[in-house]
Structure formats: structure tokens, C-alpha cells
Structure 1
């Protein structure tokens, strides 16, 4: 069971707004945003939740950490968790009489600031003479941190920054750690950064193409690891790809499929109503015509506006998106699932989507989405009950029902040795029916596939030895999963140095 019927509202301080979520190796959700406290300025707010949705008392103070950058207002907008368990948070800090700056903080798994990161765990960067706002953060294979940012002003550009592991701007990126790119003739806003498997960097957002800043087109930029534009992408490294034939369309999140294609979520203003939209691009930046209609898929028609804010990929290639829907009385959480073709998945919710109203007149909206290793979907966002903003975390089963516990699956009896180390094979004892066709896969703590231990094929019940090569894997918590036509069963596996 998670929270109250799958829903958690955390009223932190006098007002709290969540913007992003990440999962640690143990499956706990780390949610970040802003928290206001009476008599104080707005601070970075970082909360960690247990697997049941309770605030984790082993993190910070009663599960919450507040960080002040000595600004009038500090707001977190993005989060990632490093392989060593450290938590990186990015956002903005508005300093007295100086405007806003890009702000980063790095925390130890306990919630304490990591003093090896710029000596005090905090970094602020004045990227431009205008107001600077960090929007998301991604990590390269070498541990360097790439941040998307944007300026608040006129004739602004995409801003991408790269920091060393120690928190300093990296001069190997663009000469001084900062790269600016104009994607349209007016204001450009970068919302999400993605480091591809080949270490190229993709930034997604939107740009205004006329003097009217409400006329925007979705935009994508790809850089080489040096910060130079990747001319093999779009036109000179830039791809402007509208989300619909509307007057205003924007991209808020992006993921890369294993085949290199890019899937983006946002919305398009069609008439006077916003419609959540999904766009898929080929690795070249061209529209993928095999997806939806001319590379575009939208949520089903409704008399209420919808916004798409986050996207994630399931292990089976299905695409899950999250956002919000204006309901009859208040805003509702919105989830939808698409097949790899761009068609809505009829096995999910009602006709491929599900909306969740809050209790009473609670206003809800999802800002980010992650998929747990057991396939459950977890969203984080904003809510307001009695006009008091709060963190909202919701968990969904992979099918149609909000919250609730899944029945325990018993296909895996034992995993041995556990912990695993060195080159010893893994012995898996199965309780499956005779000759069941199944695949055995290894996942990391956040649900990403690490390797396939055995391809799908009939396998008898009993003990089976599988190659693991634990010495080649980073120490930490993993999951061994067997996957059949009926679903997935999991057992935790610890790998030690």
C-alpha cells in the first residue's frame, strides 16, 4: 500500500511545490521543489519517501532537507541520483539586488550537504546579465554534470552548462563551461537536458518565433561533448518541431529509446485549449513518421485542457506520460500510456489514460514521472488543499488502478549467492510451471535494464546457474527479474566490491 489509496500530500512548511523526482538504489523516491517557512525565504526542498509513501526519518530532519542559498527565493526544479547515492539538485536562487542565478546543491545519502562539492555543497552561477534559471540536470558517464538553463528577459537563448565532479564550471565545454544557442528569433526556453548513450547532449524546450512570446514552437538542440553543435542533427544541430498545428507548443521532457529515437512530451494550444502531445524524432532530428500521425500523438479529445509534463519508457517499449487535466471542479493528475506505434494503449486506464482527482476540491498536477523496478508508476507534482500548496506523490499500478498493493509473485524462490561478488555464477531457483517461456534480466535500483541474463525461452522449474560477472558491475542494489506473458517477478540482489 502506498500512502492513502496511492496518494500522498505532504504539507511542508507554509507552502510546498514539488517539481521533480528520482529513485535511489533502494527504490525510495527523492522529491525536490520549493518549501516556504514562516519568517524565512523560500528554500530548496528535498524530501525522501519510503516504499510505502511515508517520509523517510533517516533522511534530513523527519525526511526533509531545506537548503538556503542566502537568496530571497530558492527553487529546485531538477534532481538526479548518482551511482554513489549522492543527490544532485538544480534550480534557481534569487539573490538580493542581484537577480536570479543557476543554483546547484549536492547531498550525501543522509541528506547532509556534500562538502566535496564546491567546499560547501552549493554552487551558484551567474550565467548571463539577465535572470538565470536552472531547469534540469543530467550526468555524463565520467561524472560531469550537465545543466539546462534559461534566461528570464527578452531575446533569450538556450543556456547549457557543464560542471566537473567537484562543482566547478568545466572549461572543456564551450571554453568556459557555458554554451548559448539561439533556436528562434525571440525568447528561447530550455526545459530538459538529456545525455545520450553516445554522450551527445540533447536540450529540449521551445522558442518564440514572433514578437508575441505566446507564439512558440517546440525546439531541440544537440551538442557534441565539447559543447559544439552537432551538425548531423536537424539543421546545424537545431530541430524545430511543432507539437501540433497550434499557436503555442512547448516541450517539457524528453527521453531516448534504446534505438536512439527521441520521445518528447509537452502540449500544444489548439484553439483556446491546451492538448498534451507526444512527439518522436529519429536520431537525426527528423520527425519519425512511423509514430502516431506524422510523428505526433495526442491525448484523446476532451472539453478540458490537458498538459503533458513528463515522459518515461517502460521495459517493453511502451511510453508513459504524466501531467495534469483540468477537471470539473479542480485540477487532476493525468497519466496516459502509448504503444511504440503512438497509439494509446487500451490496456491502460480507460482507453489509454487515467485521471485522478484529489480529495474534495484538491488541485493536483504531475510535474515528473519515474517507473519503479516492479513496473509501478510514480509521479511527483503540486497540489493544493484549502489553498495550501503541498508536495503530491502518487503511485499507480501498471494497469488501471491507483494505489493498492499488487499480489506477491512467487515465481522466484531464491537467488544465490546474495550478496554476489567476483565471477561466481548466479543460481536462480524457480517455481514456474513446467516449460514456462520466460526471460531473466538484471535491473539497477532505478529500474533501468543492466543486462539480459537469459533470453526468452522455455525453462523448467528448479535451480538454474546463470552467468553474472558481478565484478564488472558497480556495487549496490539490483533486481533480478523473470518475465513471462503473465508479468514480472523480482528479487533484490546486492553486489559487493
Structure 2
């Protein structure tokens, strides 16, 4: 928000992972003692793997999404105190288990009135991971029936591993960025969908039938983050060639999905070091700066500031 930074992640005790959320001053980085316990909220509903994957501020509310065991969990808390909002879900919590398999949330997005919970599920059976988006009220967490089928949208472009790692709402459209995997090839394509926030339908003028799918190599290429504003979409991820993972940044038209030739080389910026694990993991556009963060080589961070 305007005065504080919210940091979310996991506490990895032996065989027991828990959510951890901190509220810190934007001035000096100190913990806000009025939030949770000493500036920290810890969520540990099971003795197994509980992993926080996304957080989002909407007005005075802090939304959290992640996994609890093999199911989804969404929480709504007051952003100032960290206390659960009792009127949302069941005493501030939604526990969602779309399938008997290992389901996972990956991202949250909002248009101000609704919350889009994004992830994957195994409802198709076996090892067929399906992209799943739920549209819910930011007030009480109820599904919004006009979106998809009963408030739930699923997309299953391949019978193997499909997932949207990130999502953003811009100008009445929901952009979903991630991957789809080509059967039997261990080949993951860059995958970007544009859908209506009202009913979940694809924008047929974007890419091919609402989808931009790019197979730039025979390796595991991935979109990991997306932002959108001013008629443009920026994406961050990884471009893998011969086992070497490279940073990949793209700028595309939010209307057509076409690459913007004025950005980088024909719409793409690549970065590579001698190590094998370079990947851009997140980005933000602020004013006249594009800030990208991620991994460099095998054990370093990289933060870039670029002309957007």
C-alpha cells in the first residue's frame, strides 16, 4: 500500500512448511508491531506442506492464496492488523479442493469488485494438469456464477502439464500467463490467454482465438510473470536452449498479442550468463521504468531497470 510493504513466503521447518507474511515500513523496513504478532502472521494449518504463493491488497483487505497439503486455500485479512475478516468465506478462510490429486494456486488478480484465484488442478485425472480460474466476491468469497461455469473457468490445452503462473486484470480483460506442455516431448510452450473478466470468454482478436502460444525451443520455456497497462502487456520468464536457461522479457500489444518491435530485439530481451539457471521471475512497470527481478547463474539475484 502507500505506507507499507507486504512480504510473503514460507517458513521451511523440517517436514513442516508454513505461510509467513510480514508488514514492513516503506521508510526504514522495520516490522509493523500492530500487524499479527510483532509484524508477522504465520499460517500453519497442517504438519505437512503449506506454501503461500500469492498476496494482493484490495482496499483495506489483504488476500492470500496458496496450498495446504494438496488443496487450495484463500484467506482474507485486514491489511493493517492481519486479523481474519470473518465475513469472508468461513471466518476469513476458503478451503478449496478441486480434485483428489495435488492441486495448487499460483496467482491472484482483481478488477476491484472480484477476486480471480488462479492455479491448476487434476480434475481431468491422472497427471493431466488443468488451468483453473475462480472468480469470487472480494466481500464474502462467493463464486460469481456468470463467469465460466458457475464461477469456475478451466482450460486444458494439453493432456500433460498446463498452468497459469501469473495473472493480471487490465481494461476489463484477464491475462493468464504460463505454459502448456506438448505430449510426449517434454516441450513446454509459452502460453498467454486473454479473457473477459465478465464471463471468461476469450478475446478472439487476440493471438489465435484468444491465445498466444509460442514454442521457441524444444525445452521448458515458461512465462512466470505478467503485467499490463496502457494497451501493452509485459512478460517475464525463461527461454531454455540445450539445457541453458536464459532470462526472457517480452512486450506485446494488449489488443492483438503481437510483439512490440520497439522493445529489445523485435519485442524480446534475452539475458544469459555462463551458469545454467538464469530466469526472470517477476516484473513491474512504474512510470518510465520496467523493473525485472530473477535468478542469475546458479546462486545469484539480478534486478534490472529498463525503458518499458
Q: Which of 339, 342, 348 is the matching residue for 2:307?
A: 339
Matches within 5 A, 1:124-273: 124-141=95-112, 143-151=113-121, 154-165=127-138, 166-184=140-158, 186-196=160-170, 198-213=171-186, 215-224=187-196, 225-242=198-215, 244-245=216-217, 247-258=219-230, 260-273=231-244
> 1:276 aligns to what?
247
Distance 1:127 1:289 in 2: 41
Q: 1:129 to 1:170 in 2, by over 3 A?
A: farther
**CA deviations over 1:173-207 (Å, ceiling 9, x no partner):** 113221111234532111011111x2211110011
- Contact preservation (8 Å) 2:167, 2:175: yes
Q: How many residues align?
A: 299
Q: Displacement of 1:71 after TM fit?
A: 6.4
> 2:24 aligns to what?
49
- Contact preservation (8 Å) 1:183, 1:219: no
SS in 1 for 2:235: strand
- Contact preservation (8 Å) 2:10, 2:52: yes
Distance 1:269 1:189 in 2: 18
Q: Which of 85, 89, 104 is the matching residue for 2:64?
A: 89
Higher relative contact order (CA 8 A, sep 6+): 1
SS in 2 for 1:42: strand
Distance 2:203 2:47 in 1: 37
Distance 2:184 2:99 in 1: 22
SS in 2 for 1:167: coil
Q: Displacement of 1:37 after TM fit?
A: 5.2
- Contact preservation (8 Å) 1:246, 1:268: no
Distance 1:220 1:184 in 2: 14
Distance 2:117 2:203 in 1: 18
* Larger Cα-atom Rg: 1
> 1:479 aligns to what?
none
Distance 2:297 2:281 in 1: 14
Matches within 5 A, 1:295-314: 295-299=267-271, 301-305=272-276, 306-314=278-286
Distance 2:90 2:36 in 1: 19
Distance 2:169 2:53 in 1: 18
SS in 2 for 1:158: strand
Distance 2:200 2:95 in 1: 20
Q: Displacement of 1:246 after TM fit?
A: 5.4
Q: Displacement of 1:132 after TM fit?
A: 1.3
Distance 2:189 2:13 in 1: 38
Distance 1:140 1:308 in 2: 26
> 2:41 aligns to what?
65
> 2:87 aligns to what?
116
TM-score by length of 1: 0.57
- Contact preservation (8 Å) 1:71, 1:93: no
Q: Displacement of 1:36 after TM fit?
A: 4.2
TM-score by length of 2: 0.90
Distance 2:169 2:203 in 1: 13
Distance 1:43 1:121 in 2: 18
- Contact preservation (8 Å) 1:231, 1:237: yes
Q: 1:37 to 1:185 in 2, by over 3 A?
A: closer
Q: Displacement of 1:106 after TM fit?
A: 1.0
Unmatched runs of 5 consecutive residues or more in structure 1: 1-23, 95-99, 341-497
Over aligned residues, Cα RMSD in angstroms?
A: 2.0
SS in 2 for 1:131: coil
